[in-house]
Amino acid sequence: MKVLMFGWEFPPHITGGLGTACYGLTKGLLKQDTEVIFVVPKAYGDEDQSAVRLVDASDVVVDTADADYQEFWKKITYMEIGSNIIPYIGPEEFKRVAEEQHVDGVKLDKKVFRAKFEFSGKYGKNLLEEVSRYALIAAGVAQKSDFDLIHAHDWLTYPAGIAAKSVTGKPLVVHLHATEFDRSGQNINKEVYEIERQGMEQADRVITVSNLTRNIVIEKYGIDPEKVFTVHNAVEPIKKDVDDFKRGVDEKVVTFLGRLTFQKGPEYFIEAANLIIKRDPNVRFVMAGTGDMMHKMIRRVAQLNIATKFHFTGFLKGDDVDRMFSLSDVFVMPSVSEPFGIVPLEAMRSNVPVVISKQSGVSEILKHALKVDFWDINGLADAIWGLLHYKSLSEALIKNGKAEVDSLKWDNAAFEVKRVYEDALS
């Protein structure tokens, strides 16, 4: 089987869990005798292509005289982007990074058609313009490629998936890693919601990363339950000895690693930290990540007068993530709405016991993790306290958790995804 797959990022150039999931899945599919042509807006040349053929959309030549291109372009709704729809950062953070030119869009010619379009591959000011043009490129790639099925990851690539289906008639599978309700709560961006809804309606099958997400898809988007399938994510095996790193503090270390956004619940972590520090000052807390709530979180830490026990590291990736886990005694994910959550699996893989919110997809499959409601600050503090002060509890979760997470392989997830492919093709 050959699959034409559309994504927005691919390791090592990632901003969140989406790229990590795409990488693990493509490697797993290779073992299922499934060849993947993976299209990204921008490739950098250092990606691992051992299990996938990577296509750089920026290198695709558009035949401006082709009637199919022109016909498809007429059907694309050209939209202006609002700062609050950036997938991984909110309005305040977007404004700051845009001003500092850390997030850039691309300058667009007034002429719609051109031989090539240079994608930034970032979550920038012209994101929706890139999404639309990416869909145009997708139609061309689909016409010139040999494949059996189309697979599109998250809303950024749904128009591309629809375009590929429209010019080839091949089945479309869309993969939902997060919904607009997860990112924004009830204050959703209507344009993004509509792209998500259209993508799922046009798809022959929909894959969600948890039953939590599946229920949202059915209830809030009105998608037929018969075509929505849950395939839980997995985690890559550890590649290095996590005990190589030496810690420079005597205190216990509790870590939050994720985007500092509404969805991830960073404020609940800080409030729980305050309760614990009042009981035991020999604990340090680390908040690793960036996002629109970062300045608010720093101010709150200062207000609580716990800044000497609290550290903000900024965004971490690669070896820095492994190093952070090696220094941690407890990992906490207090997400308000988490479609899945790969980071707790990475922590458990590194022999770190975890506390996760019940409002997360990963809580559906993990047995050896402490689970609390995100809003229950006292319960969250008690769970962290227990792992810090009851050695037998911590050791049991570390031992059993490591064994549990080692069984959550991308090969198994890929097997389930291929079954969805076969169902769509039948």
Q: Look at residue 154 and tell me whether its pLDDT is greater than 60.
A: yes
How far apart are the C-alpha atoms of 216 and 212, rounded to whole Å? 7
How far apart are the C-alpha atoms of 422 and 426, rounded to whole Å? 6
Strand partners, 354: 331
The pLDDT, as a whole number, for residue 285 is: 98
Give Cα separations from 395 to 117, 305, 388 (angstroms): 54, 32, 11
Mean pLDDT of the chain: 83
Of residues 91 and 422, more confidence is placed in 422
Extract the tokens encoding 70. Answer: 């022109």
CATH architecture of 2-234+410-425: 3-Layer(aba) Sandwich (3.40)
The pLDDT, as a whole number, for residue 239 is: 62
List the chain domain ranges: 2-234+410-425, 242-406
Decide if 2-234+410-425 and 242-406 have a common fold. yes
The pLDDT, as a whole number, for residue 140 is: 81
The pLDDT-based confidence of 387 (bands split at 50, 70, 90) is: very high
Q: Look at residue 244 and tell me whether its pLDDT is greater than 50.
A: yes
Nearest to 275 by CA among 311, 312, 304: 304
Tell me which range, 159-163, 233-237, 307-311, is most confidently predicted by mean pLDDT.
307-311
How far apart are the C-alpha atoms of 8 and 14, rounded to whole Å? 9
Nearest to 163 by CA among 97, 102, 77: 77
The pLDDT-based confidence of 90 (bands split at 50, 70, 90) is: very low
Of residues 263 and 425, more confidence is placed in 425
Q: Look at residue 99 and tell me whether its pLDDT is greater than 60.
A: no
The pLDDT, as a whole number, for residue 92 is: 44
Return the H-helix or E-strand segment holding 150.
strand 149-153
CATH class of 242-406: alpha beta
What sign does the dihedral 369-372-375-377 (CA atoms) show?
negative
Beta strands at 252-257 and 330-333: parallel, antiparallel or unpaired: parallel
Extract the tokens encoding 112. Answer: 């719609």
The pLDDT-based confidence of 242 (bands split at 50, 70, 90) is: low
What sign does the dihedral 266-389-234-227 (CA atoms) show?
negative
Q: Look at residue 391 and tell me whether its pLDDT is greater than 90.
A: yes
0.85 exceeded by pTM: no
The pLDDT, as a whole number, for residue 57 is: 61
Question: Can you tell me the mean pLDDT for 125-143?
Answer: 78
Nearest to 234 by CA among 7, 11, 53, 28: 28
The pLDDT, as a whole number, for residue 95 is: 46
Query: Do residues 36 and 50 make contact, with C-beta atoms less than 8 angstroms apart?
Result: no
Q: Look at residue 29 and tell me whether its pLDDT is greater than 60.
A: yes
The pLDDT, as a whole number, for residue 70 is: 52
